């Protein structure tokens, strides 16, 4: 617990330094706020189309299995994390599978995202049929474990946490953001939820739908969710052309690309990734793209 407090303190010191640098820049005209933020929070080389669509990013990744028996509030899972700590603390996110889906159904996202410079926790749910609101609570429980009790807690910035999820896990990620306004980014993947109004979500949210989804049709789920979200601080809607509900478990490169760009932009506050989000991309792999285009 002392280590957890120390890392949180270092994170706050780092952010104080960012603000101080920005203020000095305003006085001297030599450093902008964006430049100061990038100096403090950047992880990895300048991004390119090739780097965010590659199967692996610039960071070597290790993994650790978390047994169900060692946790409470969720079903265990696997933590993926960069092995190099010279960049300091990393943002972190938890990912929930969908209805009847085991952790393995979303496991591909673990090393793919972690290799871009994140700590990623792909979780097993308590039962395969847990509804979205239960998955929301389990996502929060897994983040608490990650920051308070895991063996990699000293790598995690507790002030930069996000959630993702597929199907009912995607609906759960939206509910988790409602319940925890401190979350910094949310990425629901072909999400499903009976609630349609998520206007209380305050975290930047990227909703990824699939054009041919017949299980959670975008007109009944992804699109209403997106339209209900506030414009501020940021939101976007990506629709995968020709894809169905199971695209998030099939290693979809387009899904990975926009997910990486979003969590880099809003978990790390890395403005180098704006280029992949704004202006709206002309991408043949998308059948729809909407956003508030933050800058």
Catalytic positions are 167, 213, 245
How far apart are the C-alpha atoms of 268 and 262, rounded to whole Å?
9
Please check whether residue 158 is in contact with residue 122, taking contact to mean a CB–CB distance below 8 angstroms: no
Residues 6+ away with beta carbon under 8 Å from 276 = 47, 49, 52, 257, 258, 261
**Residue 278: CB atoms within 10 Å:** 16
Cβ atoms within 10 Å of 190's Cβ, excluding its own: 31
Q: Show Cβ contacts of residue 20 under 8 Å, excluding neighbours closer than 6 positions.
A: none
SS3 169: helix
- Report helix, strand or coil for 199: coil
Distance of alpha carbon 252 from alpha carbon 110, whole angstroms: 13
């Amino acid at each position: 617990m002392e280590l957890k407090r120390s890392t949180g303190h270092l994170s706050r010191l780092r952010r104080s330094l960012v603000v101080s640098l920005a203020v000095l820049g305003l006085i001297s005209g030599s450093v902008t706020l964006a430049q100061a933020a990038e100096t403090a929070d950047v992880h990895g080389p300048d991004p390119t189309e090739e780097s965010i669509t590659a199967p692996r990013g610039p960071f070597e990744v290790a993994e650790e299995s978390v047994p169900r028996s060692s946790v409470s509030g969720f079903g265990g899972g696997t933590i993926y994390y960069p092995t190099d700590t010279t960049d300091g603390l990393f943002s972190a996110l938890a990912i929930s599978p969908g209805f009847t889906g085991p952790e393995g159904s979303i496991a591909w996202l673990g090393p793919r995202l972690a290799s871009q410079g994140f700590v990623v926790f792909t979780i097993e749910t308590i039962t395969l049929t847990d509804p979205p609101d239960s998955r929301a609570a389990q996502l929060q429980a897994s983040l608490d474990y990650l920051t308070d009790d895991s063996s990699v807690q000293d790598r995690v910035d507790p002030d930069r946490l996000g959630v993702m999820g597929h199907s009912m896990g995607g609906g759960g990620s939206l509910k988790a953001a409602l319940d925890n306004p401190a979350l910094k980014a949310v990425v629901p993947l072909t999400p499903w939820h009976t609630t349609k109004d998520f206007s209380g979500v305050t975290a930047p949210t990227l909703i990824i739908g699939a054009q041919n989804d017949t299980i959670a049709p975008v007109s009944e789920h992804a699109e209403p969710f997106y339209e209900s979200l506030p414009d501020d601080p940021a939101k976007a809607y990506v629709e995968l052309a020709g894809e169905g509900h199971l695209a998030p478990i099939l290693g979809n490169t387009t899904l990975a690309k926009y997910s990486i760009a979003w969590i880099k932009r809003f978990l790390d506050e890395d403005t180098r990734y704006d280029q992949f989000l704004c202006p709206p991309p002309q991408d043949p792999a998308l059948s729809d793209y909407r956003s508030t285009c933050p800058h």
